[in-house]
Structure 1
Amino acid sequence: MQLVSSELDKLAPERIENTPWSAHENGTIASFAMAHNNACIFLKYYVTEQAIQAKYRNTNDPVYKDTCVELFIAFEGETAYYNLEFNCLGTCLAEFGSDRQTRRLLPAETIAKIRRMASLRAGHENAPLKTWQLTLVIPTDVFSEHALAKLEATQVRANFYKCGDELPIPHYMTWTAVEAPAPDFHLPEYFGRINFMEAPYHPTEHSTGLCFSSASKTL
C-alpha cells in the first residue's frame, strides 16, 4: 500500500472544491489522485480540516456522519451507480442503486476486498487544522453488479465528495458542481466523465505501481 500511496503522490491532484450549499467550508481543503491498472482503481484522498471524527468502525455503518470522503461511480452509461463512502479510518459504507431511495448495501465480504491505508497528522491539541490521507485499492470485482473485464475504454461517470454530517459544523463539498436546494450527493446527472487511459498490459490486482494510468475529467 505504501508503494501505491507514493505513486499516487506523483500525480496532479483534482480538487474537491465546489461548495453548493454554503459560501465557505471553514478552511477545509480536499483533493484526490486517481489511477488504474485495469484490475484495480487506485485512489488517494488528501484532506485538511478543522474537526476529525471517526465514531463508526463497522462495515456499512453511516460513515457519512463522520469525517468522510466519497466516490459515486456509474459504468457503461447506466443510471444506476455505486456509492463508496469512507471515514478517515477507512471504514466503508458501499451501496448500489439507481437513486437515493432504491439503494442496496454491498455485502461485507465484497467490501473487504478494498485495501485501505489511512494516515493522520493532527499536530498539537489546539492546532486549528488537521491533515489526513486515505489510500484505496479497489479491485474491479468490488463493482459486483458488473463484469468488468478491464477499466480502459470503459464509459465511466463519477463524482467525488467530502462531507461530515455530524461534525461541529457540517459541510458538503463536491468535485463537479451540483445544483440542488439542499445537500444531496445522489444526483448522477451531475457526475463528471472519467477517462481511464490505456494501461500497458493487464496485470493482477497485486502488481500495483507497475502500470499506473491516470484518470481525467471531461464534463
Structure 2
Amino acid sequence: MKKLTILPITSNLTGRLNFNQLSDLVADFEWNTLPHSNWSESYPYQPEVRFKIGYTEKELIVQFDVAEEQLRGNYSEANQNVWEDSCVEFFISFDDRKNYYNIEFNLIGTGLIGYGSPDKATRNRLSAAEIETVQTFSLIERHSGTDKHWTMIQVIPLAVFKFNDTRDLKGKTIHGNFYKCGDNLKQPHFVSWNKIDNPTPNFHLPQFFGELIFG
C-alpha cells in the first residue's frame, strides 16, 4: 500500500481565485505519478498523469497534470457520465474504507460526486449545488503531432465531505486513490496511483486505497 503525506497550505484562499495563484501555492509540492495501467492486456494505452495535493483549514487543493492522445469534454451538467470523457478522479475515505467519496471531473470542470459503501446500490450522489461548490481551473494545450496536455486545479471545500468530521485534520491518516480514465475515448484507459488487483475494470474497490497522512 502506498503512503502519501498531504502538506498544509498556510495561505488563506480569499477573493476571486485564479489558476496562477493556486499553482503558485502548491508550486513546491511534490508531483506524484499514476504509474499503474490496470487491465493493460485489454486496455494497453497509458496517458502520462501526475498530481499533487495540499490542504488548508477549509479546503483540499488537488492539481492534476495530463498528457494524452485525445481530449474529450462532452458532458457539461453535474452528475452526468463524466468518466466517459477525459476524466480525473479522486476517491477518499475518512472511516477506514467503510464508506468513501468519489470525486470525478472531466477536463472542462464538470463534476460528479458520490458517497457510500462499495455496494453501488447504497451509494448516493451529492446535489448539483453541492458539487458546484468545488472550484475548478483548467489549462488546455493542443499541439499538432503530439499528445494534448491539460492541467486542472480543484479547490474542494471540506464541507463537501458532509458525512464526516473534517475538523482538525492535521496528523490524521485516511485512505484514498487517484485515477485517470476515459471510457469513451478512442483508446479507453484506467490508470491509478495505487495498483488495483481485480480481473475487470473497477475503481470502486477501497481495499486498494493507499494511505493519506495529513502533515
Q: Is the 8 A contact 1:26 1:50 kept in 2?
A: no
Q: Contact (CA 8 Å) 2:86, 2:181: kept in 1 or not?
A: yes
Task: Render the CA deviation track for 1:79-133: whole Å, top value 9, x for unaligned.
Answer: 1000000101111010001013321000112111111101100113xx2300000
* TM alignment of 1:102-181, pairs within 5 A: 102-124=122-144, 127-181=145-199
Tell me the matched-pair count.
195
- Given the superposition, is the C-alpha separation of residues 147 and 19 from structure 1 closer, same or farther in structure 2, using an over 3 Å criterion? same
Q: What is the CA–CA distance in structure 1 between the aligned matches of 2:33 and 2:121, rounded to whole Å?
A: 29
AA aligned to 1:60 is N
* Residue 16 (str. 1) matches residue 21 (str. 2): no
Residues 102 and 12 (structure 1), Cα distance of their counterparts in 2 relative to 1, 3 Å cut: same
Q: Residue 86 of structure 2: which of 67, 73, 81 is its match?
A: 67
SS of alignment partner, residue 89 of structure 1: coil
Distance of aligned partners of 1:26 and 1:145 in 2 relative to their CA distance in 1, 3 Å threshold: same
**TM-score, normalization: structure 2?**
0.86
Q: CA deviation at 1:25?
A: 4.6
Q: Which residue does the alignment assign to 2:62?
A: 43
Gaps of 5+ in 1: 198-219
Q: Secondary structure of 1:84's partner?
A: strand
Equivalent position of 1:53 in the other structure: 72
Q: Which is further off, 22-31 or 85-94? A: 22-31
> 1:5 Cα deviation (Å)?
1.7
Gap change, CA 1:185 and 1:78, over 3 Å in 2:
closer
Contact 1:66 1:164 in 2 (8 A): yes
Whole-angstrom CA distance in 2 between matches of 1:25 and 1:142: 34
Gaps of 5+ in 2: 1-17
